[in-house]
Amino acid sequence: MTRPEHDASLADTPIPHRAEPDWAAVGRLPIDGSNEPLVPMSLAPPPIKVFPAYARMGIPGAVDECYVREGVYRRLLAVARSLPEGLSLLVLDGWRPWRVQQYLFETLQATIQANHPEFDDQQLLVRTREFVAQPSTDPSSPSPHLTGGAVDVTLCDADGLPLDMGTLFDEAVPASHADALEGDPGRDDARRQARDNRRLLYHAMHAEGFTNLPSEWWHFDLGDQLWAHYEGHASARYGPAELDTIENRWRRQL
Q: Which residues are catalytic?
A: 216
Total number of domains constituting the chain: 1
Does the structure show a pLDDT above 60 at 2? no
Q: Residue 120 falls within a domain, yes or no?
A: no
* Predicted local confidence at residue 244, as pLDDT: 82
Least confident of 59-63, 135-139, 174-178, 250-254: 250-254
* Predicted local confidence at residue 8, as pLDDT: 58
Fill in the DSSP letter of residue 167: S
Q: Residue 122 falls within a domain, yes or no?
A: no
Q: Point out which residues pair with 151 in neighbouring strands.
A: 220
Amino acid identity, position 75: R
Q: Residue 226 falls within a domain, yes or no?
A: yes
**116 belongs to an annotated ligand binding site:** no
Per-residue model confidence as pLDDT tens digits over 86-114: 999 999 999 999 999 999 999 999 999 99
Which pLDDT band holds residue 249 (cuts at 50, 70, 90)?
A: confident
* Predicted local confidence at residue 161, as pLDDT: 97
Percent of the chain whose predicted confidence (pLDDT) is above 70: 97
Which pLDDT band holds residue 5 (cuts at 50, 70, 90)?
A: very low
Decide which of 198 and 248 is more confident.
198
**219 belongs to an annotated ligand binding site:** yes
* Predicted local confidence at residue 225, as pLDDT: 98
Per-residue model confidence as pLDDT tens digits over 180-199: 999 988 889 999 999 999 99
* Predicted local confidence at residue 246, as pLDDT: 77
Q: Residue 196 falls within a domain, yes or no?
A: yes
**145 belongs to an annotated ligand binding site:** yes
Per-residue model confidence as pLDDT tens digits over 116-173: 999 999 999 999 988 999 999 899 999 999 999 999 999 999 999 999 999 999 999 9
Fill in the DSSP letter of residue 117: T
Q: Residue 113 falls within a domain, yes or no?
A: no
d(C-alpha 78, C-alpha 160), whole Å: 19
Mean per-residue pLDDT over the chain, rounded: 93
Q: Residue 80 falls within a domain, yes or no?
A: yes
Q: Residue 108 falls within a domain, yes or no?
A: no
Q: Residue 190 falls within a domain, yes or no?
A: yes
* Predicted local confidence at residue 7, as pLDDT: 56
d(C-alpha 63, C-alpha 26), whole Å: 27
Domain range spanning residue 64?
5-96+138-253
CATH number of the domain that residue 213 is part of: 3.30.1380.10
d(C-alpha 14, C-alpha 174), whole Å: 18
